[in-house]
Structure 1
Amino acid sequence: MKTRVRFDRGDLTLDVVLPDAPIVALTGPNGAGKSTVLRCLAGLEPASSVVRHGPLPGSVGYLPQRTSLFPAMSLRDNVASSLRFSGVGRVESRQRAEALLAEFEIGELARRRPHEVSGGQRQRAGLARAIAAIPDLLLLDEPFVAIDVAARRSMRTRLVQHLAASGSSCVFATHDDADVEAMGAVRVELA
């Protein structure tokens, strides 16, 4: 679905057309509006206008730049929370959360709380939570930036596999050309 995002506040004016592609990468310098476009698509910017040509996504998963996990919950329960919100039972949501954490190479940390793990491990848990409920549209803001370079390759591969298996579309912001290439994304450059 082709989507047009318009936003105007202060010094930032955006008029961006996103192509009809399964994976779109927003690139450009700091302050160009990448995060704002994602926030507009997520419905978090009331001053924005989003016009979609085609069906509206039924569900949206969003991972902000600063991974926002619930501090009092374990990583497993954080991931399971998105499943619980979508109607999955408690036992099944925990089992699926543990499987996703294992797939994202942090299964042994499932019972730890966010403050007990590194930033990269929190980022992986946040990514697992964002995809757990299989949203129609997945919005990711710098999803790999906190993850060490060696692990990024496998995280990108796993994400692409999840998107292909689920049929979800994805729009993500990045400064890393390797993310764009590895994800097979259509690039939209913001100035």
Structure 2
Amino acid sequence: MAAERIAIIVKEIKYWKEHRLLPETYCDYLLALYTNGEAFSEEVNNKGQWTLRIVIHLILSLLMVPFSLLVLYSTEFDSFLQLGILLLFFSYLIWITNYFRKNGHPYLHVPLIAGLLVMLLLTTFSANLILKSDLLQIMVLIGNFIYWLLISKQRKIKFLQITSVLAITFTLIYAGFINL
């Protein structure tokens, strides 16, 4: 009977830890207390597998930008098929960003920045499909860079903030040179 109670308590503590109902250190302490330190050997194996999954997602996130450029500039696909592929890449990057944000992953900025770059490609390509106008392209670029600035202030990513301000500045200088 005592073993069943301990198993139920351990299961509840793992649930609390997984859903962040208690701080992780408290849960680790309680698990060590109730299992005499045996629960941590199982978690180490799971963390090893988890790390491989995260590395795969990070590599795929980094590869989405060159794949997007490849789809746009090196293929003879129909424009709407290219747009669909870019939307698929962007959806994947949004999903990974939300997944990393929910789990508090330290490399959240990698899929976030890749997603912002793919969004930049997606919106400029879409604007070019709708109307081939320099004014529209400039407005889309500035809109994207303002969005980057807002995201960087919200997430407190300093280098993205600097990049967005520089990009807005260079885009406005470019717009001045082409006499819009």
TM-score (normalizing by structure 2):
0.29
